[in-house]
Amino acid sequence: MRGLRGQMGRLKAIRADIRATREHTERLTEMSAQLAASQAEISLIRGTLEEFNRRNAAEHQRVMQVLRIIRDDDASARERLWSLRASDDYALAWDEDEPLVTIIITTYNNWPLMRERSLPSVLAQTYERFECIVIGDAAPPEAAAAVASFGDTRLRYVNLPYRGPYPDQRSDAWLVSGTTPFNTALALAAGRWTGAVSDDDSLSPRYIESLLRHARAQRAEVAYGLIHQCEPDSEGKLLGTFPPEVAQWGIQGSLLHGGLRYLPLQPTDWLFGVPNDWSLAERMLRIGVRFAMLEEVVVDYYPGTLWKTRPAED
């Protein structure tokens, strides 16, 4: 009898365990369903946030573009372009036999490469009717000596009393490097055409001749060629697209109609995260300046980040 009672007790215990296990399983199933629902809700929320961020980023870019257009006063710039085209001397840039060309170099403390590479490439031009204006960004005396060492009257040196000013962050300062010196040179330029070269880059000997011929053939207000980006231990690569695109166009590979000097570089481009030369290109494209591209290398470009040859500009 006692054995039967014991068996009955064990049976009840087993049944209780089964019932508890079943209840526990049901609770787990319910919790799994709730977790799956929560995960689906989280996924939905994440997708909503990602879409919001995309729209917010797009709207931010739109607002920044509007602010740039307002800052650049595109409407007035476009009217000035139309007035330029209607002026008496507008066509002289193409029609004069030997129009004067102004080449601009801005420099700070990279006078050794300016003396060894940049200035010799300017003086080696096959087209000889040019002036070269070198503007020091509060450069040391060695910069003036480098320019004077060539003894060429086509070279002119002006040094500014102080640098910049530039933003504190180096990456921001890079976006607007040389803005004030470049604009100073624009105010001094007398040429029918304006070109430029960095103090550590090298123009091809036919830079002026080729681009001027192409500008005449196309009646272009900006003629530009291919940029050979020189890279250590490699042949480098060619940069250049038509129409111009960011990182595929540079002032150092272009000739600009002298009448466009009313469009200076903007010292506030760093606020928009845009390099000053590309900002200028976009501004010209927006107002309808006529570009023409020449499939010929016109400048050797040595990025300082690759060559580490540019002194620290603290």
Question: Among 58-62, 71-75, 245-249, 267-271, where is mean pLDDT lowest?
Answer: 58-62
Secondary structure (DSSP) of the chain: -HHHHHHHHHHHHHHHHHHHHHHHHHHHHHHHHHHHHHHHHHHHHHHHHHHHHHHHHHHHHHHHHHHHHHHHTHHHHHHHHHHHHHSTTTTHHHHSSS--EEEEEEESS-HHHIIIIIHHHHHT-S---EEEEEEESS--HHHHHHHHTT--TTEEEEE-SS-----SSHHHHHHTTTHHHHHHHHHH---SEEEE--TT-EE-TTHHHHHHHHHHHHT-SEEEEEEEE--TTS--EEE--SS--TTS--GGGEEEEGGGGGSPPPTTGGGGT--HHHHHHHHHHHHTPPEEEEEEEEEEE--HHHH--SPP--
What digits encode the pLDDT tens for the residues 207-258?
999 999 999 999 999 999 999 999 988 889 999 999 999 999 999 999 999 9
pLDDT score of 312: 55
Q: What is the mean pLDDT of the chain?
A: 91
Residue 27 has pLDDT above 60, yes or no: yes
pLDDT score of 301: 95
pLDDT score of 57: 73
Residue 296 has pLDDT above 90, yes or no: yes
Residue 184 has pLDDT above 80, yes or no: yes
Mean pLDDT calculated for residue range 115-121 = 97
pLDDT score of 307: 73
pLDDT score of 7: 72
Question: Among 37-41, 53-57, 103-107, where is mean pLDDT lowest?
Answer: 53-57
Residue 313 has pLDDT above 70, yes or no: no
pLDDT score of 209: 98
pLDDT confidence band for 50 (50 / 70 / 90):
confident
pLDDT score of 253: 93
pLDDT score of 2: 63
pLDDT score of 134: 98
